[in-house]
A and B are shown apart, each in its own frame.
Chain A
Amino acid sequence: MIKLDHVTKTYKNGTIALDDVSLEIEKGEFVFLVGSSGSGKTTFLRLLLREELPDRGTIWEAGRDIVNLPKWRVPYLRRNLGCVFQDFRLLQNKTVFENVAFALEVIGRPKSVIESQVPQVLDLVGLSHKRDNLPTELSGGEQQRVAIARAFVNRPLILLADEPTGNLDPKISEGIMSLLDRINKTGTTVVMATHDKALVDRMRLRVIELDRGHLIRDQQRGVYGIEADAGAPR
C-alpha cells in the first residue's frame, strides 16, 4: 500500500528531515510513527500527502509512484487519503454536518451521495445527535471525531493522522484511538504519528521510530520506547 525506497528530504536551511528511509506498509496495517520532535514524523506524513517532494528516492502509494505524479493528478491522489491533525482544522462557520459534507462537496459528489454518506459516518463517530452544532459548541474530543469523520467520509485507502490525540486528555484519547482502530478494521491503512506512550504501549501494533531523519526502529507489536522488550526488529 505504501512503499518508501531510499527517501531523503533536506530542507532549504540544511535540515535533513529524512535520510535514506526505506520501508513498506501493507494494506490494512495500523502503524504508529514515533520519535521526538524534529525526528521527521511530520515530514514523513507530508511526503505521503504529496505536500513535499523528496530530494532522492521514490514513494509508492496505492500502486502509484507519487514522486513523479503530475501536479494536476495530486488532488486525485488525495481523494484516496484521509488526514487528521492535532488542531482538528475544522471550519468554524460550518456545522458538524457541513464540515463533513464539505469533503464530499468539493470533490463534486452529488447531493444524494452526501445525504446518505454523511449521516452514516457521523453515526460511526457517535456524533449523529450533534450534526447541527458548530465546532465551537463541541469538546476537543468531539471536534477530533468530526475531523476523523471528514477524513473517512470518502472511504480513503489510507488514513494519515498527525498526533490526533496531542490536545486531548488520556480518557478522550482512548476513545479516539478506538475509533481509529474501528476504521482500520474496515480495511483502511492507518499511519499515526504520536507522542502518546500509553496508547502505543497498550495497542501493541507496528511501531516505526525516527530519530533526526533516520529510521532507527521498525517493530511488529512494538511499544513506544526502544528500551522496552517489544519483540524482534523486522
Chain B
Amino acid sequence: MASFSQYVVKETTTNLWRNRVTTVAAIFTVMVSLFLVGGSLILGQGASNAEIKWQQGTLVTVWMAPNATTQEIDAIRSQLNAYPYVHDCYYQTQLQDYEEAKHLLTPTELSVLKPELIPSSLRCVPNQPQDARLVIQKFTGQPGVQYVTAPTQALKNQQRTIAIAQWSVLIIASVLLVSSAVLILNTIRMAIFARKREVAVMKLVGATNWFIRIPFIFEGLIQGLIGSLMAGGLLWTGEWFWHSRAASWAPDTLGSQMLLSTWQLIWCELIVIFLGMVIGSIGSAIAIRRFLDV
C-alpha cells in the first residue's frame, strides 16, 4: 500500500511537471470560472440576506388626504389597531411628515411644498412582511385615505436586478467551467500520450487497470483542487475587503445588508472546492475513457 501511494504521488507529480504549461493554464481557468461561480453564490446569498433585512423593516404607510378630518383619521387608526395582520401603528402629523420630506427633497422641490399640502400618515408594522399586501388591499379607498404604500415594488425591482446579475455571472461561469474541464481533459490526454509506451509495458507486466488509471485521475483532481483553492482564496479576500469597507457604511445600505456571515462564506467556499474537484474528475474521466486503452 505504501509503495502504491509512493508510486501514485511520483507519477502524478511527474505528469503535472511534464505538462506544466497546460497544467497552469487549466488551473487558472478553473480558478477564474470557480471565482465567478463563487461570486454568484455570494451574490445570491447576499441578496437573500438583504431581502430578509428589508422585509423585517417593512413599513406600510397609510397616507391620509391633506383634508381628512380628525374623525376619519381616528376611524382609520382604530381599524388599523384592530386589524389582525397589523402588529403596531403610530401616527405622523403633517408637520412631522414635512420634516421628514426635508431630508429627501431638493431645495427647489421644498420651496413649493407647504406643510398643509403634505398628507399626514399612519405608519404600521405588519405581523409578517407578506401581510403588507393585505393591509394595502384593505385600506386603499377608505374614507380620508389618499393611498397606501409599502416598499414591495422597490424590493421586487432590487430582487430582479440581483437575479439578472446572478444568472449572467452563472452563465459565464458555466461556459468557463466547461472550458476548464476541456483543458483538464487535454492535459490528461497529453499525459496519456507521453506515457503511451509506459502504459503498454504496464499492461504487459500485469498492472491492473485501476493502477494505470489512478495517477491520471489524481492529476485531474489536483488541477481542479488547486484551481478551486485559489478561487476560494480570492473569494475570501474579496469578502474580507467588503467587510472591512462595510464597517464605514450605514447599516441600511445595500452593501451592508448583503454581507455574509462567516458560516455562509465557508459554505460557499466548500461548494467551490467541491465543484473544482468534480470538474477535475470529469475532465480526467473523459480523457481516460477516450484515450487510455486499458
Contact = CB atoms under 8 A, between A and B. Distances in A.
A78 B202 CA distance: 10
Listed from nearest, the 8 A-B pairs whose CB atoms lie closest are A79-B206, A106-B207, A78-B206, A103-B205, A75-B206, A75-B208, A106-B202, A83-B204
B117 interface: no
Contact of B207 (A49, A107, A110): A107
A108 B205 contact: no
A154 B198 CA distance: 18
Contacts of B203: 75, 78
A108 B200 contact: no
A102 interface: yes
Most chain B CB within 10 A, of A75, A77, A103, A108, is at A75
A191 to B, nearest CB: 15
Nearest to B211: A106
Interface in B1-36: 2-4, 7
Contact of B204 (A78, A108, A111): A78
B213 to A, nearest CB: 12
B57 to A, nearest CB: 64
Given A108-B4, A108-B211, A109-B3, A150 B198 contact: no
B264 interface: no
26 contacts: A75-B203, A78-B203, A78-B204, A78-B205, A78-B206, A79-B206, A83-B204, A89-B197, A91-B197, A91-B198, A91-B201, A102-B201, A102-B205, A106-B202, A106-B205, A106-B206, A106-B211, A106-B212, A107-B207, A107-B211, A108-B3, A109-B3, A110-B2, A110-B3, A111-B3, A154-B206
Interface of B: 2-4, 7, 197-198, 200-209, 211-212
A72 B209 contact: yes
Contact of B206 (A91, A107, A111): A107
Interface string A69-100: 00010011111010100000101000000000
Contacts of A77: 206
A64 to B, nearest CB: 14
B205 A150 contact: yes
A78 B206 CA distance: 5
Contacts of A107: 205-207, 211
Interface string A106-121: 1111110000000000
Contacts of B2: 110
A105 B197 contact: no
A79 B203 CA distance: 10
Contacts of B201: 89, 91, 102-103
Contacts of B202: 102, 106
B3 A79 contact: no
Nearest to A102: B201
A77 B197 CA distance: 21
Contacts of A103: 201, 205
